Amino acid sequence: LVAVDTLGLGIGRVKGIQDKILERLGAPEVLPRERLVVASTHSHAVPDSIGIFGEEGVDKDYLAWIEVQAAEAAVQALLAAEEAELVVTHGDAPELVRDIGATGVTSFAMELLPRISRAQSMDALSSMATIAGYKAVLLAAGALPKMFPMLMTAAGTVRPAKVLVVGAGVAGLQAIATAKRLGAVVSAYDIRPAVKEQVESLGARFVEVELKAGDAEGKGGYAKAMTEEFYREQRELLAKVVAENDVVITTAAVPGKKAPLLVTKDMVKGMAPGSVIVDLAAERGGNCELTKADETVVAEGVTILGPTNLPSTVPYHASQMYSKNVSALLAHLVNHGVLELNLGDEITREMLLTHGGEVVQPRVRELLGLPAKASQTEEITSDG
C-alpha cells in the first residue's frame, strides 16, 4: 500500500514520493490536504496504482480509501462518488460517521484497534505516538535556551537540562528515550505503577508520589479516567517536581475523553523563566491549563507548545508507518479480493464504525443519541 495523506503538507518531494510516480499519475507536485485522497485501486493490500482526488474530482478506479486527518470535504466527495466499499477513518467526528453509515459504506476507526499481540502490525496509534514523542523532545530542545547534554569545556562545565515526561505510554517512552540520547537528565511520572520498569529500562528516574491510584489501567493497557479529586491531589504532589525541571512533556490522554488537567497556571508560575512545556494532549484540551492548540504561549517566562499533529512534521516515516498499519488491516479484512467481515473476530468487531447502512460502534451511537445496538457475531462477505 502506498502513501496516504497523514500530513496536510501536500505530496511530492515533501513526502518523499518520487517524481516519476507523480508524473505517471499526472498529479501536481503539491495538493492541499482537503483535496487529496490516496487509495488502493483494489480491495486487497497490494495496489498497482494510486487514486487521487484532485481539482477535477474523484478517480473512481478504487474500492478502498485511506484517510488519516479529518479531511471532511474529501470524505464527503468520496461518498458522493458512490464508488467506495471501505473507508478507514476515525471515530472522533460522530456526524461524519453518521453520514458515512447512511451511504451504506463500511468503515473502520484505526484508534479502536484492540491492544492484542496479533494486532500489533495494525497499531497506527502507537506508530504516530512514537513519532510524536520523538518530535516533542526536538521541539523542546529548540525552544529551551539551554543545551540538553552536560558539557565540560575550557569555559567551564555546562549542566545537563532536566526533563520530566508525564505519561509513560508509547509517546512518553519515546520522549524519554530521545531526551536521554540528547544527554538530558530525565524523570517520568505515570499513574500506572506497572510502567516503572519500562521507564527505568530507558535510563530515566521514575517519580513516585504518595497517591492511591488503585486500578489506574484501563482496557488495552491505557490509563483510565480518574476522579477530579484524584487529579487535584496529583497536581498538588507534582507541583514541586514540575518546578525542578527545565522541560515538561505531557502525554496523558484517556481514549475518547477530555485530557486530564495536570499542570495548572500556578504550577507554570513556579517554573523557572525559560522553561518549556510541550503538551501532546493539546488536541483533547491539553494537560496544561494554559495550552492553546497549535499555538505557542509564553506565560511567566515559560514557553508552552501545543502541537496537535506532530507526525505531519516527519512526513516520510509517518506515511511509511501508517500505510503499513493500514495494509495490515486490509490484509486482515480481505481474502483473495473479497471483503470478509467476521464480527466474531475481536479486531474486526472492535474497529467497525459503520456497516449495513447504520452506525454500529457503541460510543459513537451514544454520542449521536442513538439507542444501544445488540452485539453481532455473524460473518459478512462482500465481493465488492
Query: How far is Cα 306 from Cα 281, in angstroms, rounded to an integer?
Result: 8
Of residues 5, 59, 123, 279, which has the active-site annotation?
A: 123
Q: Which amino acid is at 345?
A: D
Of residues 35, 49, 99, 115, which has the active-site annotation?
A: 115
Q: In terms of Cα–Cα distance, which of 294, 143, 216, 155 is closest to 163?
A: 143
Which sign does the torsion angle of CA 7, 347, 343, 380 carry?
positive
Question: Grid coordinates in use for 115?
Answer: 491492544
126 in active site: yes
123 in active site: yes
222 in active site: yes
- Number of C-beta neighbours around residue 136 at 10 A: 27
Exposure string of 333-348, with b = 16+ CB inside 10 Å and e = fewer, is bbeeeebbbbbebebb
275 in active site: no
Q: How far lies 254's CA from each of 61, 66, 257, 295, 350, in Å? A: 39, 25, 6, 22, 17
Of residues 13, 19, 118, 120, which has the active-site annotation?
A: 120
Question: Would you say 225 and 254 are in contact if contact means Cβ atoms under 8 Å apart?
Answer: yes
Query: How far is Cα 274 from Cα 304, in angstroms, rounded to an integer?
Result: 10
Of residues 49, 126, 320, 376, which has the active-site annotation?
A: 126
Query: How far is Cα 42 from Cα 302, in angstroms, rounded to an integer?
Result: 51
192 in active site: no
Which residues carry out catalysis? Answer: 115, 120, 123, 126, 222
